[in-house]
Chain A
């Protein structure tokens, strides 16, 4: 748990020398507690205080970068249990398992699907982030050969090598040395040898424990062997255990600052049935997984999981926004209707969805109101007649349409006269107050 201002104050020199730029040591301590200042501003702090404060100020879940280059994945750094308290920081990674028993052509095919998995949703690029290469054969040579296939067919994709055999890990990690791979499979009987391989190849250790107690003991052991970066698996496989273990691990890290469990969690969620696997994975997305291992990556499943991850990891304090522009819904012709609304993503999704449902091709002008909904934006003076007029004029939409008519949300009916004044030659029509009345509204116009 983070120290309070008073606890920090007790560790400071209490000289009130002002060298840190704050009037008193207590004021400085308060800023430190809020993470608005850093300890290096104090020239006189003792080494002991530095050590205690340094440990206390380290994030409760260790930040780790998995992989390298533009496909690297940031993990950890989480600070809360519930997303309404504060944004969840680093979205979980999705990884697909490739077994070293597969024929090379199949390995290459899965690698290809990973490379092609990227899609764009509300301006974010989303993809399958990593590959787990598992030593299903139990043979070191096969794992090494498979590693070479993956390295060439899925270049740049972060890789997890899954084996309990240190010699196999050493052979297979070579193509990824220095690229921050994960060597997963570290347990009580192979910890020394596996940690040595990880250390030599600058790899992250993946702990494979049997229960949370053993997990905590293993991370301490691996740390004492000189490896700091780890991802942790308590052995939970059933959905019930996954919720239980992930919750207890996250609580221990956040509420107790229990360092042996302050690492990103990896959950193995493979299931025979693709949909069932997606649903178990969905539980991991909501409840604290940092890496989710899947057995298949069909496009429909990826889209659903990417979308859920995006939903859960959005900042609850900052409304999601869409880009300001005139969107085409269907294939509008010159005489198709033109709507306007604000750029709060939910507003946009609901309005565009209802226009789509009505099956009447339309244009939807979405105006930047800093992500506020219609009524809030109007009340805040961001969705006003003059701003709407300016946006419509600058958008150039006038050139695409036959009649200059703009449909405004029913909630801002009061603006219709003043928009007409500011947009000479335009007819302003008041649309429905709620988006769900749009289909009926369009029907009456037809």
Chain B
């Protein structure tokens, strides 16, 4: 019996999204097949990994991932330049976690200044993230969007509770927008529809179906992503065709496996390698499920995931 490969052709396609300006823009998405299925269709762009930095020193990061940035993380501009120049970051994700009311409670004006300074210092694209406090993120991201006007940045995250103000600000300042919902394909679709109904172009959206770490619900994110991608390709559902984000670092570097020392749990092996592997394996899982944009922390995890992406294309 001769073998005839079953090739799939899909009616839909993922939008390709370009971020940044000048000589540093990067593009992701654009494929009309499942992830890394270049044998049956077009995969014009590689997934992009952004290095995560914050507006305040990363006192809450575990030591293993704080250490590589020890000499630069006191100041977001130095930190961003280090990621760009030394680590060859393809993009920078600035998380304005210091604006959270339970943290430093920095003002929207302070946040806007940080954004302006970081943007002026780098050539690679900038992703600007709030502190994930739905209420506070509205004024913070409105101010940040204005401060980054003309930078073709990514603003995030718009959620059901605050999407109106944030999407309006991203639209007015010509940015891309991350729409985040909580691990449910229908909620994700609904939020994308609500945002596009405001006049925001769906080609400028990035879907974040919510990340989870390896061992802590990764299978949920994995399957929601796989279902979103299949809806985009097989049903040509345009509301599901924006590229997807895996916001990996912040979920991975708070689980026990990235923090518990080997002396406490000898059967878990070296903590340093375990933490890096935890972030990198989570990233690979989500890439295979359909993520095109990743936000990560540890330089070694990023380098190894990059190397594996090269082997996949």
Contacts and interface: CB of A to CB of B under 8 A. Distances in A.
B217 interface: yes
A256 interface: yes
Contact of B1 (A220, A302, A303, A307): A220
Interface stretch (B51-59, B72-80, B151-159, B302-310): B302-310
A357 B254 contact: yes
A112 interface: no
Q: Chain B contact residues: over half helix, strand or loop, or mixed? A: helix
Interface stretch (B90-98, B106-114, B164-172, B272-280): B272-280
B288 A287 contact: yes
Contact of B37 (A82, A212, A247, A273): A247
Contacts of A121: 215
A305 B281 contact: yes
Interface string B269-313: 111011011101100110011000000000010001101100111
A239 interface: yes
Contact of A251 (B6, B217, B284, B308): B6
Given A279-B305, A346-B217, A356-B256, A312 B222 contact: yes
A243 B281 contact: no
B217 A275 contact: no
Contacts of B3: 212-213, 215-216, 252, 258, 260-261
B285 A308 contact: yes
A349 B257 CA distance: 12
Contacts of A312: 219, 222, 285
Nearest to B305: A279
Given A259-B1, A260-B1, A307 B6 contact: no
Interface string B180-214: 00000000000000000000000000000000101
A353 interface: yes
A311 B311 CA distance: 24
A119 B267 CA distance: 7
Interface stretch (A293-301, A390-398, A410-418): A293-301
Contact of B6 (A238, A252, A299, A303): A252
A440 B308 CA distance: 39
B288 A286 contact: yes
B10 interface: no
B142 to A, nearest CB: 23
Nearest to A439: B102
B273 A240 contact: no
A252 B5 contact: yes
A228 to B, nearest CB: 16
B226 A84 contact: yes
Nearest to B308: A279
Nearest to A301: B277
B288 A278 contact: no
B273 A300 contact: yes
Contacts of B269: 298-303
A311 B222 contact: yes
Interface in B99-155: 102
Contact of B277 (A220, A260, A278): A278
B16 interface: no
A350 B216 contact: yes
B313 A240 contact: yes
Nearest to A214: B3
B238 interface: no
A282 interface: yes
Most buried by A among B219, B226, B230, B273: B219
A433 interface: no
A417 to B, nearest CB: 28
B182 to A, nearest CB: 10
Nearest to B301: A275
B101 to A, nearest CB: 9
B18 interface: no
A150 interface: no
Contact of B276 (A238, A275, A303): A275
B311 A280 contact: yes
Given A212-B5, A260-B1, A286-B288, A303 B268 contact: yes
B19 to A, nearest CB: 25
B42 interface: no
Nearest to A352: B256
Contacts of B300: 275
Contact of A308 (B276, B281, B304, B311): B281
Nearest to A444: B102
Contacts of A286: 222, 285, 288-289
B220 interface: yes
A300 B270 contact: yes
A280 B216 CA distance: 21
A408 B205 CA distance: 38
A305 B214 CA distance: 10
Contacts of A104: none
Nearest to A237: B311
Given A349-B215, A437-B102, 6 more contacts: A83-B223, A239-B308, A276-B304, A282-B281, A298-B270, A303-B274
25 contacts: A82-B226, A82-B230, A83-B219, A83-B222, A84-B223, A216-B2, A216-B3, A240-B311, A248-B39, A251-B6, A258-B3, A260-B1, A261-B3, A273-B304, A276-B304, A286-B222, A300-B269, A303-B257, A307-B257, A311-B222, A316-B219, A316-B223, A349-B216, A357-B254, A440-B102
Interface of A: 82-84, 119, 121, 212-213, 215-216, 220, 238-240, 243-244, 247-248, 251-252, 255-256, 258-261, 273-276, 278-280, 282-283, 286-287, 298-305, 307-308, 310-312, 314, 316, 346, 349-350, 353, 356-357, 437, 440
